[in-house]
Amino acid sequence: MVKSSMLFLQIQEATYTRLCNNTKNILTVNGLYPGPTISARKGDIVYVKVINRGNKNITIHWHGVNQPRDPWSDGPEYITQCPIQPRANYTQRISFTEEEGTLWWHAHSEFDRATVHGAIVIYPKLGTTFPFRKPDKEFTLILGEWWNKNITDVYQTAVDNGGQFDLSDANTINGQPGDFMPCSANDTFKVQVEQGKTYLLRLINAALENSFFFAVSGHNVTLVGTDGSYTKPYVNEFVMITQGQTMDLLLQANQFQNSSSPYRYYIIAALYFDSNVGGPRDYNVTVAILEYKTNHSTPSIRPVLTSLPYFNDTNASAAFASGLRSLASSDHPTVVPQTVNVQMYITLSVNEQSCPNDSCAGVNGTRFAASMNNASFQSPKSKIDVLDAYYNSIAGVYTTDFPDQPPLFFNFTGDNIPEELYFVDKSTKVKVLEYNTTVEIVFQGTNMAAVMHPVHLHGHSFYVIGRGLGNFNNKTDPLSYNLVDPPFESTVGVPMNGWATIRFRAANPGVWYMHCHNEEHAIWGMDVVFITKNGYSTEAKIVPPPADKPPC
């Protein structure tokens, strides 16, 4: 029996103050920052009425929820819907079919997700349980960023001048910069624990610009899930979490052995940014506090602080990622496609567009652009969404010629970049997939702004069967693929000047966005759309559109 329920998310402005006197109106859901948690059980359907009482257009996406046959509720603006305009509303259906664990929801329009985001917690079906001992309690920790400036101004300035987006002024845990930032110590997020108990930390990276190393000082964490799918228990001193990813971590509260033990420990997140382009970033460390219940009367004692890997420690990040394994149990089986129907090799690059009189704020007066296979994605100019155009066979909105490989093969990770690749044209290219085909994509990071790219696919989770540094070698690298128990995720961090290979089955008919979850890159065009065609049976066809789909 599917349980369904109704929730109301009201987009509204609210006043928040961070970093001393920086008070501003931010867009929120129900006045909350971060927004409310959506809880469900696997198999549930939740209807969410999104009511826009804000002053701008917005859309909401249920990140990591695969939404079988129902792209109408997925959310990315101009891909599956037009935005919800002020004073309008839209009821979206979230179907929790496969996912279990932690996911999240966020705005999928402009830069709005900086403040419009929240957790999604999916519990096991009634009568089933976690594949590990039930935790005594759980906490949600959302990593994010705070800008002193108005977010819409940050977005509009960069879009207008073609330059980089302003850096955030602080990184945050549950909306709080934490003890190390000015005027922030009183509001640092705290969790109370008891010696001997086990806690489930639901960790979400909601940041637009930053990936993080994350740790609980003095404690190991055991990773048991990523992106709403269980993993084999994986014990670590720290984790690396990219923009868009979620992790379920078990924490044994075992460090308060006696009354002279330290009883306060920093939960810490700090930038992970491996790059050979350098440049300014928000290096501010954000902390929360883990505090053991005790009779101590000296709360002023400084919490224990662990050190994290250095911000550009590629090896630490790669070592962590290499240990991820899906659970692959009989209750949570792993079904890796063993044969491949559609093979794609996709390069990820940051490029340029020329600008009149070299007057833009990008490199040498150009405008920043970004691309996959040198196609720089642009949302439909006609302000019709791709899904509408596909479903109603409206021509001229997109083309179906997204290439399966880059236009030119060269030493992608070397220093000599062919100059003809610097500049890109904007286009709206999609890749069409036949229903139920198996797809393999090798993502190749390039030296055109060599940074890690967290690539997120809507409508599907995928198996990350391999990753490595340097250029992908199609003879030797496939020999190291994990086709037994690779992690099942919906965001993969493609290493700086490295590669990552994913496989998935295109069994979800619809229109599905795939993009870098570094928001700046997504806005610049590091995106593509997959259209999976209908199969023959009714169960293999896209559902009809809802009546209240927002008009453009």
Are 70 and 547 spatial neighbours (Cβ–Cβ below 8 Å)?
Answer: no
CB of 371 to Cu ion, least distance (A): 10
AA identity, residue 447: N
CB of 455 to Cu ion, least distance (A): 8
Q: Looking at beta carbons only, is 248 or 527 nearer to Cu ion? A: 527
Smallest CA-to-CA distance from 279 within 360, 368, 178, 181 is with: 368
* Structure-block tokens of residue 141: 């920790």
- Can residue 453 be called a binding residue for Cu ion (CB under 5 A)? yes
Q: Looking at beta carbons only, is 69 or 521 nearer to Cu ion? A: 521
Distance CA 10, CA 31 (A): 8
- Can residue 243 be called a binding residue for Cu ion (CB under 5 A)? no
**Residues whose CB falls within 8 Å of the CB of residue 409, separated by 6 or more in sequence, listed in order:** none
CB of 490 to Cu ion, least distance (A): 16
Burial label, 301 (beta-carbon count in 10 A; 0-12, 13-18, 19+): exposed
DSSP of 169-228: SEEEETTB--TTSTT-GGG--EEEE-TT-EEEEEEEE--SS-EEEEEETT--EEEEEETT
Q: Which stretch binds Cu ion (CB under 5 A): 153-161, 237-245, 399-407, 452-460?
A: 452-460
Q: Looking at beta carbons only, is 33 or 530 nearer to Cu ion? A: 530
Q: Looking at beta carbons only, is 110 or 519 nearer to Cu ion? A: 519
Footprint (CB under 5 A) of Cu ion, residues 501-520: 516, 518
Are 113 and 208 spatial neighbours (Cβ–Cβ below 8 Å)?
Answer: yes
Q: Looking at beta carbons only, is 318 or 455 nearer to Cu ion? A: 455
Distance CA 489, CA 7 (A): 27
Q: Looking at beta carbons only, is 243 or 501 nearer to Cu ion? A: 243
CB of 536 to Cu ion, least distance (A): 37
Which of helix, strand or coil describes residue 348?
strand
- Can residue 200 be called a binding residue for Cu ion (CB under 5 A)? no
Does an H or E element contain 465, and which?
A: strand 462-469
Q: Which stretch binds Cu ion (CB under 5 A): 41-49, 104-112, 226-234, 521-529?
A: 521-529
- Can residue 203 be called a binding residue for Cu ion (CB under 5 A)? no
Q: Looking at beta carbons only, is 50 or 372 nearer to Cu ion? A: 372
CB of 520 to Cu ion, least distance (A): 8
- Can residue 521 be called a binding residue for Cu ion (CB under 5 A)? yes
CB of 516 to Cu ion, least distance (A): 3
Burial label, 539 (beta-carbon count in 10 A; 0-12, 13-18, 19+): exposed
Smallest CA-to-CA distance from 478 within 518, 450, 440 is with: 440
CB of 526 to Cu ion, least distance (A): 5
Are 218 and 156 spatial neighbours (Cβ–Cβ below 8 Å)?
Answer: no
Distance CA 449, CA 226 (A): 28
Burial label, 312 (beta-carbon count in 10 A; 0-12, 13-18, 19+): middle
Q: Looking at beta carbons only, is 113 or 453 nearer to Cu ion? A: 453
Instruction: Count residues near Cu ion (CB under 5 A).
Output: 4
CB of 518 to Cu ion, least distance (A): 4
CB of 93 to Cu ion, least distance (A): 30
CB of 394 to Cu ion, least distance (A): 30
Q: Which stretch binds Cu ion (CB under 5 A): 75-83, 450-458, 475-483, 503-511?
A: 450-458
Footprint (CB under 5 A) of Cu ion, residues 273-312: none
**Residues whose CB falls within 8 Å of the CB of residue 451, separated by 6 or more in sequence, listed in order:** 273, 274, 275, 277, 445, 496, 518
Q: Looking at beta carbons only, is 285 or 494 nearer to Cu ion? A: 494
Q: Looking at beta carbons only, is 202 or 453 nearer to Cu ion? A: 453
Give the contact letters, 469-508, x = binds to Cu ion (CB under 5 A), - = no: ----------------------------------------
- Can residue 184 be called a binding residue for Cu ion (CB under 5 A)? no
- Can residue 242 be called a binding residue for Cu ion (CB under 5 A)? no
Q: Looking at beta carbons only, is 456 or 505 nearer to Cu ion? A: 456
Are 83 and 383 spatial neighbours (Cβ–Cβ below 8 Å)?
Answer: no
Alpha helices in 277-383 (DSSP H): 314-322
CB of 524 to Cu ion, least distance (A): 9
Q: Which residues bind Cu ion (CB under 5 A)?
A: 453, 516, 518, 521
